[in-house]
Amino acid sequence: MKKSNFHFVRQINEISVLRIIRDEGPISRSDVARKMGVSKVIIGGIVKRLLETNILFEIGKGDSTFQGGRRPVMLEFNADAGLAIGIEVHLHRATILVTNMNAETLHEGTVNFSDNSNPSLILERIVKTIERLVGDKEKLKSILGVGLALPGLIDYQNGSILSSHSLKSWEGFHIKAFLEDALDTKVYIENDVKTITLGEYHWGAGQDARNVIYIWLGEGIGAGIIINGDIYRGISASAGEVGYTEISARGINRGKFPILFQDQYRFGEILTTRNLENSLQEAVNMNGRQTLLRNGEINLNNIAAAAKRMDGLAMEALAEFGQILGVLTVSVINLFNPELIILGGPVIDKCPLVLEQATLSAKEDVRIVPSESVKIRAGALKNRAGTLGAVGMVLQDLFKPPIVNLATYRSLILPE
């Protein structure tokens, strides 16, 4: 066997050992060998190397087998041997999460900025915040990678934003190269909704599924698509732009949706917090109905609070929002036929009625979408999904895919 092939096979075996010990430890060398179907001699050599890198440690002796004999030395995965950094950049702030290799939170931080027109300056502040959170220089060397969630279309080849409404001045700036140079580690960049989808898939509402569509609702609308465990981007990285789906011929009209529908052309024009707020403001001004909502004070928080107090106008508007979302959800289900639809974002988080109505609306069409075939549920991670998804971009190379990507793993192991 060629030397390069030998090293590749050995690394595949090493990461398989790591996965077993991480998921099932404390565990003995013999049990690892049995699970992998290889000899204890091979496992012994692998474990020796991994112990030298501090990724594993021995925690004492376990119980003897029913046949007696010496008690085996137990192995445990050292999740603190490496750090993963997750960053989510918003319009006026960046949130930062530092975790160990089990995605357990170690540190959190926020960088606020009123002017987002200078990416270099903001990224410098992010780097300094990471250095402060992590602490000393030795710990900085244990960073396995940085995942970065950004609003807009991503240029993966150049490590930059191709197009973004909220970070216009960042377009074309080499974000990935800047952070890799500053932190001396691998950087992964991804669209924010796709990153949130990864967070929910790995640690939130999507953990029990392999094919997931996540629909995010807030100032805009977008979707993340996971097929057989992998994020799907599309040829131009724009897969999931469900906001551009046209409303026409879908039974949405003023008669059925008198509050929210005002001849919008696309779902992205109607299923937004801005349209919800503006439509309710107009309804308050126009029809003089008794309502808890006050002129000039209509925002998502107040709408949610009014609905919780059974305000009729607020509840009608949220019911319309959910029913229209259900129409879009049916279209997505028909197109992809996933196991699971996750609905998330501030509208879902703050207004449970929207999820309820969307689910009912989608599952009314039992001829096309049998109610038992597709699950619809709310996101579980709320505003932590983005940073956790960014951490997931770093850690998924180590532990998630059935075909191993060795890029991150090699950064953990001692040089040949």
The reported pLDDT for the residue numbered 69 is 60
The reported pLDDT for the residue numbered 1 is 41
Angle CA(213)–CA(316)–CA(204) in degrees, nearest 5? 25
Beta bridge mates, 150? 191
Nearest to 410 by CA among 97, 136, 6, 10: 10
CATH fold of 205-380, please?
A: Nucleotidyltransferase; domain 5 (3.30.420)
pLDDT band at residue 105 under the 50/70/90 scheme: very high
Distances (CA, A) of 260 to 281, 313, 324, 328, 354: 11, 12, 9, 15, 13
Q: Where are the domains of the chain?
A: 3-77, 81-192+385-412, 205-380
Rounded mean pLDDT, 199-224: 93
Is residue 365 predicted with pLDDT exceeding 90?
Answer: no
Global pTM? Answer: 0.86
Is residue 2 predicted with pLDDT exceeding 70?
Answer: no
The reported pLDDT for the residue numbered 397 is 60
The reported pLDDT for the residue numbered 133 is 96
Tell me which of 55 and 398 has the higher pLDDT: 55
Tell me which of 326 and 249 has the higher pLDDT: 326
Tokens of 177: 């190269």
- Helix and strand totals (H; E) in the chain: 15, 15
CA atoms within 13 A on the CB side of 233: 13
pLDDT band at residue 377 under the 50/70/90 scheme: very high
CATH fold of 3-77, please?
A: Arc Repressor Mutant, subunit A (1.10.10)
The model's pLDDT over 305-321, given as tens digits with 9 standing for 90+, comes to: 999 999 999 999 999 99
The reported pLDDT for the residue numbered 229 is 87
Rounded mean pLDDT, 115-144: 93
The reported pLDDT for the residue numbered 10 is 65
Rounded mean pLDDT, 53-78: 77
Pick the CATH number of 81-192+385-412 from 3.40.50.2300, 1.20.120.1200, 3.30.420.40, 3.30.1950.10: 3.30.420.40
First-residue to last-residue Cα distance in the chain? 17
Secondary structure class of 137 (helix, strand, coil):
helix
Rounded mean pLDDT, 37-46: 87
Q: How many CB atoms lie within 10 A of CB 331?
A: 16
The reported pLDDT for the residue numbered 349 is 95
3-77 and 205-380: identical CATH topology: no
Rounded mean pLDDT, 12-32: 85
